[in-house]
Structure 1
């Protein structure tokens, strides 16, 4: 599990970076450490699997500022914020900004590891969801405008007769369109086609 994932640690305290690296690697997880937000940004690229373990208070760009920057730039790594100076308002601000978790020093090793595992699980699910959406989008792009219309009505629960009446065509024509939709979407059943339509919907959270 998480073989391709990396835990990215950003902390200006060298002793803390070393300690965290040892702790995380002791569980078999891959780790990369950075002494500043700038060092992380200089060596990281979007799309890498994993999570970000981020100290809140650092010289230069703070942890919260790095978190905000990554969100604006579309980076989707789950962020776990760590601080020795935590307070409720900072925690609320971090969570509202999209932090996956917020942990205060001193912390129990197992609590931190649990948070990391949960973040990696989340990242894995999110990536699988993105891959599924991309695959469905490619299939949808193969449909003609009329096939899109038929698919929308089919997945809305309308019968062939209702679709034929709405489009001003014969039920036999609708059947032909429907068959091509099922084939192009690689759907083995109506339920599967409906599921694809739900996943493709903009508001879908999958």
Structure 2
């Protein structure tokens, strides 16, 4: 029995029910939902879902997307609960879970956050010691890993950029502004969602923050439920960004291990050129290009051309496709 948002999902006799009523899903959609339910709060890749539901058939990914949309609609799940992890797969984010003998408490904003998996550390940056300490204690009392920093420099010196993190950041700091820290993190390409807070916010200030990529903008004194809701969303975003960054890093590592000739073939393939065109450009036989292409697919961990093209957006962001 699992509580997803406002819906109580149960598995009765192998059939899925919502609040005791049978869910009118197609068989593939039901199988997909069961796989996601068996891996709560964990990424399930597209390949894992396709092989689990259609083990003996070749099925296009758009069929998977159609069934995911159907599940959201029939089960009443929003995109934060049944989350699409761009280019990778899906994750069912659970707010409360239990067995058949467990009483599941209907979610409120505060309670829902308390049951969210602690997927990221929240860094509170505020030069007012009392405010910083109070916020850290408040977050920790809700089961959140939180650390306080008196300045942007202190945060930059101690933050572990290799782990999922999000930032609760005061706009006005003694030594620099929160916007300066936001710009520095953008410069470092650090995947850290930022929630700004201020005691005297203006519309222009909030617009500036959001345009620069801030997750949210809160005005002090902050409502506890709103604070926890916003931080909860930032934590989930932090985990997603961290996973995507790690995946991109792995792709770059595999690309760097290609030989120079393999990289040339890689560029030709993702640009849309045929084997014989690549062979002519490189001054080699077409069969040689096929061998290089096979090696590229193997080393990059790609099984289909579309996967190689997706990877090229990471390693060749400025690549030019073949023109007609």
Match of 1:67 among 176, 182, 193: 182
1:41–1:141 CA distance, 2 compared to 1 (3 A): closer
1:141–1:37 CA distance, 2 compared to 1 (3 A): closer
Residue 118 of structure 1 aligns to a residue whose secondary structure is helix
| Cα distance in 1 between the residues matched to 2:308 and 2:172 | 49
Match runs of 1:1-206 below 5 Å: 3=118, 5-37=120-152, 39-41=154-156, 43-44=158-159, 46-72=161-187, 75-202=190-317
TM-score norm. by structure 1 comes to 0.80
Q: Deviations over 1:67-106 (max 9, x none)?
A: 3454456554222111121111221233344433211123
Q: Is 1:8–1:51's contact at 8 Å kept on the other side of the alignment?
A: yes
Q: Is 2:119–2:239's contact at 8 Å kept on the other side of the alignment?
A: no
TM-score norm. by structure 2 comes to 0.54
How far 1:158 sits from its partner (Å)? 2.7
Extract unaligned runs of 5+ from structure 1.
none
Greater helix fraction, Structure 1 or Structure 2: 1
1:44–1:187 CA distance, 2 compared to 1 (3 A): closer
Extract unaligned runs of 5+ from structure 2.
1-40, 42-116, 320-324
Query: Across the two proteins, how many residue pairs are aligned to each other?
Result: 204
Residue 122 of structure 1 aligns to a residue whose secondary structure is helix
| Cα distance in 1 between the residues matched to 2:200 and 2:223 | 16
Greater Cα shift, 57-66 or 146-155: 57-66
Q: Is 1:38–1:61's contact at 8 Å kept on the other side of the alignment?
A: no
Q: Note the aligned Cα RMSD (angstroms).
A: 2.8
Q: Which has the higher contact order (CA 8 A, sep 6+)?
A: 1
Greater Cα shift, 12-21 or 83-92: 12-21
